[in-house]
Structure 1
């Protein structure tokens, strides 16, 4: 049976985005004023553009459906030209593992790796679940999102099938699986081999990531260029959570939506992954990350 993460200390946030990861930090009520301010800013910005709407109106929201087949796809995350915006800043949450709230895994030998399903170093745990390949494409927002950020680095982490975060949650404090760093190739891409995360109490299924300008910055846990989160489409979550080991996620997901989630409720178009795959063959999740 899945359990929600146990928070041993207050979460820390970087940047002007949200200031908590879930209800186990300071609680949703702590962040409601933050959400209200962000919505007000957007409303005011929208009001100032009213005279222009008749002349030029665009809707860059996107979404789709995915069936349980190897060729299925869901959501569109491409960003370019005039639609190019910096990835929304979100909290790193109370379980970052970068030294900002306790353990620092980034300075450990072995953290730079593609397969994050296994722990490294003296730990030997393995995260079980539906296979998931995650590919993020880091691009330069100032160039219109057309220039890949070759040499940038991404630190990525998420909970396991039981909703636990390694290094922090009861039963896995000695593990460091589902955490890793990759350097972007000439296409600006980083790829991780992982498992589909749980839906734990109070949060829509998600993956955390930090972008650094270089691998040296990432492994020194310094000079974070961007902190954000990736969201999963509901249809894929429903399909995955119908498989063995994810039963608690079914109940947790039923109480949530992307529109009511404390992090994604103010907009998630840029953070909703494009999904392909099946429970039999595993899934791929892709997202473009302008920084």
Structure 2
């Protein structure tokens, strides 16, 4: 894969003035919520690009998920076992788009969004694939305490159906789809709408993410609290990759396993997401993110 930087844009263009330009508008809209109720509040919240998330499933025992709950999936009041510790630190890979290796999408106005399927700014590409909702819940682990990390920001990115990363691979170097930032609500929940990623040669199907203390801090990799990756279950991958457009992923997946993947081979209990849904209706990916 090549490393082509995203096109530079005129600094006078409003779409490229950065997150610092977006924040006053976002905060102003939130202030408006206090003046609105019912449908008006929902409409205002939608304008900010924030999505409601579902309540995690119930737990048993000492806050642990039920035995049939997949590791790492949202389970219980917190769904977090303190004994397992924080979600592992992982490499951001060669295509982070956070300024640590070439382009920095985090400085572009419009990056705070829940729907990642299309590019923003002057780019107009749309990523094709099986619709997928990603629901993350961020926690602060402090000793034996597990507290939702309200106001934290998560930057999520992953490859497209063809295994390409926007802003880097030649064919999509001018696009910035499948990248975006969301802010956690009071319970640490946040949601993205995207597509199911491909399995490209040498890597198990996955998504990358970085956790920041706040939206204001989510402007570059130097401010991140944690970088990690979530793994997608094999059975779901098999179903998705049997559909049109994912043909190359069938071959690539057949040559891999979670235990041989160079990221997940040292353990993935906290990173294997719970996935529900179907090819026809789309999928929902859920993961707890203790940091």
Category of TM-score, reference length = shorter chain:
0.7 to 0.9
Partner of 2:164: 164
1:154 aligns with 2:154: yes
The question of whether the paired residues in 1 share the 8 Å contact of 2:152 and 2:214 is answered with yes
1:221 CA drift (Å): 4.6
1:172 CA drift (Å): 0.2
1:147 CA drift (Å): 1.0
TM, length-normalised to structure 2: 0.74
The question of whether the paired residues in 1 share the 8 Å contact of 2:2 and 2:170 is answered with no
Seen in structure 2, the aligned counterparts of structure 1 residues 90 and 62 have a Cα distance that, compared at 3 Å, is farther
Partner of 2:93: 93
Gaps of 5+ in 2: 5-63
Structure scoring higher RCO (CA < 8 A, sep ≥ 6) equals: 1
The 2-side partners of 1:81 and 1:197 are apart by: 28
The 2-side partners of 1:89 and 1:115 are apart by: 26
Partner of 2:267: 267
- How many equivalent pairs are there? 228
Cα RMSD, aligned residues only: 2.1
Output one character per residue of 1:146-167: Cα deviation in whole Å (capped at 9) or x when no partner: 3100000000000000000000
The question of whether the paired residues in 2 share the 8 Å contact of 1:81 and 1:144 is answered with no
Output one character per residue of 1:4-54: Cα deviation in whole Å (capped at 9) or x when no partner: xx1439xxxxxxxxxxxxxxxxxxxxxxxxxxxxxxxxxxxxxxxxxxxxx
The 2-side partners of 1:139 and 1:182 are apart by: 15
Partner of 1:116: 116
1:290 aligns with 2:290: yes
The question of whether the paired residues in 2 share the 8 Å contact of 1:139 and 1:145 is answered with no
Output one character per residue of 1:217-270: Cα deviation in whole Å (capped at 9) or x when no partner: 103554110000000000000000001100000000000000000100010010
Which stretch shifts more, 138-147 or 209-218? Answer: 138-147
The question of whether the paired residues in 2 share the 8 Å contact of 1:148 and 1:187 is answered with yes
> SS in structure 1 opposite 2:228?
strand
1:141 CA drift (Å): 1.1
Output one character per residue of 1:109-135: Cα deviation in whole Å (capped at 9) or x when no partner: 000000000000000000000000001
Partner of 1:137: 137
**Which residue, 2, 8, 12 being the options, matches 2:3?**
8
